Amino acid sequence: MNIGPIEENWDDLLRLAGSIKFGHATASLSVGKLSASSPQNILAAALKEHGALRRTI
């Protein structure tokens, strides 16, 4: 488990969560955009690591 990307992109992860929570973007649109992005996308990597961390806990 690598928490580096989570720490480095915490503000962006919160911004994404807020956008979904307050209805500015749908979860399906956000996931679709991140899935379509390049494999080097750091926000997608941080979100993946966050999901792995939640499953581990």
pTM, 2 dp: 0.80
> Burial level of 28, CB count in 10 A (0-12/13-18/19+)?
exposed
47: exposed, middle or buried (Cβ count in 10 Å: 0-12, 13-18, 19+):
buried
Question: pLDDT confidence of 1, banded at 50, 70, 90?
Answer: confident
pLDDT for 15 beyond 90:
yes
pLDDT value, residue 27: 93
pLDDT, tens digit (0-9, with 9 covering 90-100), for 23-57: 999 999 998 998 898 888 999 999 999 999 988 87
Residue 18 in this model has a pLDDT that exceeds 90: yes
Q: Is the pLDDT of residue 13 over 90?
A: yes
